[in-house]
Amino acid sequence: MSEPKSRRRGAELEQAILDAAWAELSETGYNRLTIEAVAARAGTSKPVIYRRWSNRAELVLAAWNRRLPARMDPLPADTGSLRGDLVKMFSEIARRVEGMLSEMLAGVMGETFRHPEITAVLRERLHNSPLAEVLTKILAEAATRGELDPLELSPRLIQLPINLVRLEAIHGGEKITDDTIHALVDEVYLPLLRGLELTARQTAS
């Protein structure tokens, strides 16, 4: 049995574990990934890993998140219009998605995200997603300007912009253009918000 590589601690140890988890995921896939293999590759032990992440799904998502571009600013500048704010938000999402969807990353994502335990962790994290804060701010400012009635979105509708952009990136195979962003806002998301506003008015009347 090989000796531990070094007595690393803190950020250095965490980085080694996450690098090892990503390497294992890329080489073996989620089904065959084990905490034992990650620990061996990182030169540490299973208890050390479990003190930081309670299960395999959380570890994999932490490794995944380490490879994302910087988090979206939860408080973007007000452009002065609902459409302008949504275009800015969708553009930022596109920047982040394009940063992670290389051919290899897309393949790993498709294989990994089909597992129920991953989906459960993602659903839990969605409640604290910066996107929820972004959208809440955008809708509140639109209501203040009188552009839109106050709306409260479900987690599924909060996640929709990411899913729309991700589908464009995966199926389009090219850089997401401004025209695509505008189409997603004008043809999908704005009409959806208007529909929700109309439904709420009809329910209240």
Asked if residue 70 has pLDDT above 60, the reply is no
- The CATH architecture one would assign to domain 10-66 is Orthogonal Bundle (1.10)
The 10s digit of each residue's pLDDT in 133-156 is: 889 899 999 999 999 999 999 988
**Which of 18-32, 66-80, 177-191 is predicted most confidently?**
177-191
How many residues would you count in the chain?
205
* Domain ranges (residues) in the chain: 10-66, 71-204
